[in-house]
Amino acid sequence: MPYTNGILRETLRTAPPGAGVPRFSYDDFELAGYRIPANYPVMLDPRIGNMDANLYTKPEQFEPLRWVPTKAKESACPFQGSALNLGIGSWFPGGFGAHQCPGVPLAELVGRMFITKISNEFDAWEFSGEGLDKSGDIDYVKIPVRIPRDDFGMRFTLN
């Protein structure tokens, strides 16, 4: 199941379901030229770190093999397994630390079960391209959680 885990982790990296983790600043500080006063609400958006080229090789590319150990199978992916060596806080679709969503491990388990079940039960699935925005991405409602705005054209054929 290493590749299934990779698909799930890469999906959560590129499209985390939560819009971010709200926090309040403890002290006044400056960030990217902006002054943030103490006790000001700030949002920690996982999408920023999850797409950081300093952490992920070709971050804009959907590549499940970045989560698959190199010994699992040989591939043409030059950065296979690279995400497995990242530090704490480099991937946080549900936050991290004391405020991490306790449901993330359960969501990963249910996601693996879903991917496995759908792969075994259906002969084929196709994506018509309906429901995409102008850039070719699924048109999501992004806050408070990412969900497709409408039907996005996925059809399944049962075995």
At 27, is the pLDDT very low, low, confident or very high (cuts 50, 70, 90)? very high
DSSP string of 55-70, one letter each residue: TSSSTTS--GGGGS-T
pLDDT digits (tens, 9 = 90+) for 52-72: 899 899 998 889 998 888 775
Is 132 inside a domain boundary?
A: no
Residue 42 has pLDDT above 70, yes or no: yes
106-135 tens-digit pLDDT: 888 898 998 888 888 877 766 666 666 666
Q: Is residue 10 part of a domain?
A: yes
On whether 101 is known to bind a ligand per the annotation, the reply is yes
How buried is residue 152: exposed, middle or buried, by Cβ count under 10 Å (0-12/13-18/19+)? Answer: middle
Q: Is residue 11 part of a domain?
A: yes
Residue 102 pLDDT grade (very low, low, confident, very high; cuts 50, 70, 90): confident
Dihedral, CA of residue 33, residue 51, residue 114 and residue 151, to nearest 10? 70
pLDDT of 139 strictly over 90: no
Nearest to 145 by CA among 13, 39, 16: 16
148: in domain: no
| 98 within domain boundaries | yes
Residue 39 lies in a domain: yes
Tokens of 150: 């409408």
Range(s) of the domain holding residue 81? 2-122
- Work out how many domains the chain is built from and give that number: 1
- pTM of structure: 0.70
Residue 41 in any domain: the answer is: yes
- Give all strands (DSSP E) within the chain, no chain letters: 21-24, 29-31, 34-36, 41-44, 122-127, 140-141, 147-148, 154-158
At 147 the pLDDT is 66
